[in-house]
Amino acid sequence: MPSPADTMASQATPIPPEDLARIREISEALFGAKHRLPVAVVIAGAPKRELYAQALAKPAGTTEVQAGAELRHFERAGLLEVLAQESAKGRRGRPPKRYAKRRSHIWTLARKLAEEG
């Protein structure tokens, strides 16, 4: 049975490797953070709920730690909301911090920036 991360990762569209360097350059120039736009692009194409760092990292071409940092930036900006954590009996460790997208034009803009660059 696939893990939740595998399911989410299969739903998040990965950024093609040939586009990733260009999108990172745009991100660095606009936001001073090379991973922000790639993570935003992946969030834009992901389901509204159940966003978390482990599932977004690989499609965005970054690490889980960096994806988590970007998710926190989007949360502070009011673009994501933290979902209540469910306790998972029989599982070890802390459950991942999950987010839901808030309705915003930023997600459309992120995709357009990635396409136009």
**CATH class belonging to 4-116:** mainly alpha
Which positions ≥6 away from 9 have C-beta within 8 Å? 54, 55, 58, 59
Alpha-carbon span 103 to 57, nearest angstrom = 22
Alpha-carbon span 70 to 76, nearest angstrom = 10
Query: Do the Cβ atoms of 71 and 56 come closer than 8 Å?
Result: yes
* 34-90 tens-digit pLDDT: 999 999 999 999 988 879 999 999 999 999 999 999 999 999 999 999 998 765 566
DSSP annotation of 101: E
Q: With 90 as the cut, is the pLDDT of residue 95 above it? A: no
Angle formed by the axes of helices 106-116 and 36-45, nearest 10°: 120
Cut 0.95: pTM above it: no
Q: With 70 as the cut, is the pLDDT of residue 4 above it? A: no
**Can you spell out the DSSP letters for 17-50?**
HHHHHHHHHHHHHHHS-TTHHHHHHHHHHS-SS-
